[in-house]
């Protein structure tokens, strides 16, 4: 249960991600810095599966993962899909992501869609595993997943996306905050009795500015410039900087 949208610009790309989860699931840890295969990686951590749903590395490659609840779940004991993203997160190009993806034993994972972004490439790679077969294609924004009423949720959220006057960063921040009380289970910021949108992550990737901002809680209530500034992390000049303990990043106001 997630919503992801993105912008590819001349200077780089921006990625916007709502994570939806069961209310009973343990809260995720904020973005952490890791070194994997000699590459520094930034990702929030799911303490249950020990992996993540979104990552950014120092080479400007980002990955994000959406569950495919409509796929066929393989038999036997499975590994958390977040572990797959973590394994691939050190790839320094999308081509390398594809090479490493081909080596994975996908029967160990429940169905998913994995999106891969890189600087200097205006095409977003999409890897789909439906539990029986793999498909690799180029993706267009936005993408959605839902365990409940998928077709209705996609149609509703796509209509909200289509109503945006423009696809600017401010528009997309507002889009990911969208919540209609009469359509709570379909809204981009989703609320159901059993589940809800639990966090928002934004990645901004440009040659001299790689950063991830993270706002825990439902975006319709918690997605503010102050919340993003409090948990903004950057790679600059091959150095990692945690802005929680340094200067705050000025952000454009978000219309809610």
What is the rounded average pLDDT for all residues in the chain? Answer: 90
pLDDT in tens, 82-95: 999 999 999 999 99
47 — pLDDT class (breaks 50, 70, 90): very high
**Which structure tokens are listed for 146?**
């839902």
Helix axes 81-88, 94-101, angle to 10 degrees: 130
The pLDDT, as a whole number, for residue 241 is: 58
The answer for residues whose C-beta is within 8 angstroms of residue 253's C-beta and 6 or more apart is 170, 225
pLDDT in tens, 148-181: 888 999 999 999 999 998 899 999 999 999 999 9
Exposure of 210 in the CB half-sphere (CA atoms within 13 A) = 23
Rounded distance, CA 224 to CA 206, Å?
23
Q: For 2-245, which CATH superfamily applies?
A: Penicillin V Acylase; Chain A (3.60.60.10)
Rounded distance, CA 20 to CA 17, Å?
10
Whether 141 shows a pLDDT value over 80: the answer reads yes
| Domain parsing of the chain, residue ranges | 2-245
Angle among Cα 32, 224, 236 to the nearest 5 degrees reads: 40
Q: State how far the alpha carbon of 249 is from the alpha carbons of 106, 132, 229, in Å.
A: 39, 44, 6
Rounded to an integer, the average pLDDT of 6-34 is 95
Whether 244 shows a pLDDT value over 50: the answer reads no
pLDDT in tens, 97-135: 999 999 999 999 999 999 999 999 999 999 999 999 999
- 100 CB burial (10 A radius; 0-12, 13-18, 19+): middle
- Which residue's entry shows tokens 């699931």? 25
Whether 242 shows a pLDDT value over 80: the answer reads no
The pLDDT, as a whole number, for residue 235 is: 81
pLDDT in tens, 200-240: 999 999 988 999 999 999 999 999 888 898 999 998 554 55
Name the residue with higher pLDDT: 249 or 230.
230
């Amino acid at each position: 249960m997630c919503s992801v949208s993105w912008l590819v610009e001349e200077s780089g790309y921006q990625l916007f991600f709502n994570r939806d989860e069961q209310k009973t699931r343990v809260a995720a840890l904020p973005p952490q810095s890791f070194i994997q295969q000699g590459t520094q990686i930034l990702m929030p951590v799911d303490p249950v599966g020990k992996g993540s749903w979104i990552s950014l590395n120092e080479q400007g490659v980002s990955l994000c993962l959406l569950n495919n609840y409509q796929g066929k779940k393989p038999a036997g004991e499975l590994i958390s899909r977040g572990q797959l993203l973590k394994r691939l997160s050190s790839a320094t190009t999308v081509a390398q992501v594809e090479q490493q993806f081909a080596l994975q034993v996908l029967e160990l994972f429940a169905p998913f869609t994995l999106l891969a972004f890189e600087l200097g490439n205006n095409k977003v790679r999409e890897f789909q595993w439906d539990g029986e077969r793999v498909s690799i294609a180029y993706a267009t924004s936005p993408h959605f997943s839902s365990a409940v009423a998928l077709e209705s949720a996609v149609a509703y959220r796509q209509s909200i996306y289509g109503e945006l006057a423009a696809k600017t960063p401010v528009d997309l921040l507002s889009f990911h905050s969208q919540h209609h009380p009469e359509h709570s289970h379909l809204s981009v910021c989703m609320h159901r009795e059993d589940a809800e949108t639990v966090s928002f992550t934004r990645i901004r990737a440009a040659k001299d500015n790689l950063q991830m901002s993270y706002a825990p809680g439902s975006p319709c209530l918690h997605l503010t410039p102050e919340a993003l500034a409090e948990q903004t992390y950057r790679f600059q000049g091959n150095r990692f900087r945690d802005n929680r303990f340094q200067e705050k990043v000025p952000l454009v106001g978000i219309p809610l």
